[in-house]
Each structure stands twice: as C-alpha cells, then as structure tokens.
Amino acid sequence: MRVLVVEDEPLIADGIQVILKQEGYAVDVMANGLHAFDALMSETFDLMILDIGLPGLSGFELLSKLRKSTGFNKETPVLILTARDAIDDRILGLDQGADDYMVKPFDIYELIARVRALLRRSKGRANNVIQYDEIEVDPASHHVTYKQQPVKLRPREFAVLVTLLENQGKVVSKNKLEESIYAWNNEVESNALEVHIHHLRKKLFSSLIKTIRGVGYIVP
C-alpha cells in the first residue's frame, strides 16, 4: 500500500512518515502542492494525506485540479489535515472530494486508524480478511493474527505472506515473490527472500510454507 503525504511542516510530515512506515506502508512525502499534483499524475497511490496550507497549490486547489483531471483515479481516498479553528476548511475539503479530515494537532494513532478505515473502504475489503489455518490477514490494515493473537510482521514479510496466501495451493516463484515485495514497500532492506520465509515460519508455524527447491515456495 502506497501513501502520499503532502505536508510542508517537516515535523508533522516526518512523524506521519515514520509511523506509516512502521505500519508497513510505502510512503512518499511532498511539501509542495504543485509537485504533489505532478506525482499524482504520473504515479499511483492508494491514499493521500493532504495538508491545506501548502506552497505551490493549496490543498483545496490541488483537490479541485485533481477532480478536473483525467489522469487521477478519483477512487483514491484523501484525508485532509486542517487547522484547529478552520471549520470552514473541513466542510470545503469534504465538498471538494476529500473523504475524511483530521484537525491539527491530532493523535497520530487516530490518523493511522482512519487511514486503515479509508483503505479498507476503498479496496472493498471490509470482509475480505484472508484466512488460512489459524492465521488471519487483513490486507488493508496489515493486521495479522495467529490463534487470535496479533503477530508483528515486517513489511516485506507481510508482502510475502499475502502473496503466498493469495496463491494458496500453487507454487509461487522466487521472482514473483520478490516483485510483490517491491510493490508493497520501496524501502531497501538487504534481507534475502529466504530470510523473510524463515521469519514467517518462526513467527507463524514452520510447516506453513514449503520450499520447492529451485522453483519457489508454496502454502499447501
């Protein structure tokens, strides 16, 4: 899941970025509305967090420009960040096509919860939790449980697990698994695929993933 954060206050932008990355999202940060518009025209994001007061284009201007453009997927959820007293901003933002808002200063965990909810809604995955054995995986929220206990997976481990579970009963090649990692997380981690598989077996259970030597892996 890729999130674009458009925010010109470095402290806020960094705070959001750090916590989203911890939650396993791939995050891009931009501080200028115009640059954000260009990025949104050329790349695909699953969600945008948008400040209103921005250089280049304001959040409102950006929203209205996006609405008129054809290169933007209008299903992409947008969460706007507004100033404490600016009630008009919230209304205007929602009118301009934002899906939700947070008022500064906000609780970062509430922000994450809203991000999850927006993604769940937009992906239509409200009931689409992947179940296997006693494992439950929510692709939208990145929550994983085993025997109803939460399991903390690193982003790449999560990506590998989802790909294997979505292809249950089929051998998934190493190449395909590696691609899934890049689609889900653009941070460079040096760990090889084998290490992620090893961690998944340890954190879940060892017979979950079988190695098909020279070919790939399978969740039987």
Contact string 137-156 vs Ca ion (x = CB under 5 A): --------------------
The 49-68 contact track toward Ca ion, x by CB under 5 A, reads --x-x---------------
Kindly write out the interface string for residues 5-44 of this chain, putting x where it contacts Ca ion by CB under 5 A and - elsewhere.
Answer: ---x------------------------------------
Least distance to Ca ion, CB of residue 51, Å: 4
Residue nearest to Ca ion (CB): 53
Nearer to Ca ion, 9 or 28 (CB): 9
CB of 79 to Ca ion, least distance (A): 15
Restricting to residues 157-186, which ones interact with Ca ion according to CB under 5 A? none
Residue 10 CA: distances (Å) to CA of 16, 31, 110, 164, 178: 10, 8, 20, 37, 32
Min dist. Cβ of residue 117 to Ca ion (A) = 24
Least Cα distance to 210 among 175, 172, 154 occurs for 172
Q: Whole-angstrom Cα distance, residue 134 to residue 123?
A: 24
Residue 34 Cβ vs Ca ion, minimum distance, rounded to whole Å: 14
How many chain residues bind Ca ion (CB under 5 A)?
Answer: 3
CA-CA-CA-CA torsion sign (48, 53, 56, 59): positive
Q: Which is nearer to Ca ion, 53 or 97 (CB)?
A: 53
- 2-10, 33-41, 66-74, 103-111 -> range binding Ca ion (CB under 5 A): 2-10
Q: Are 95 and 126 in contact (CB under 8 A)?
A: no
Smallest gap from Cβ 42 to Ca ion, in A, equals: 23
Q: Kindly state the smallest distance separating residue 71's Cβ from Ca ion, in Å.
A: 25
3-state secondary structure 188-218: CCCCCHHHHHHHHHHHCCHHHCEEECCCEEE
Binding site for Ca ion (CB under 5 A): 8, 51, 53
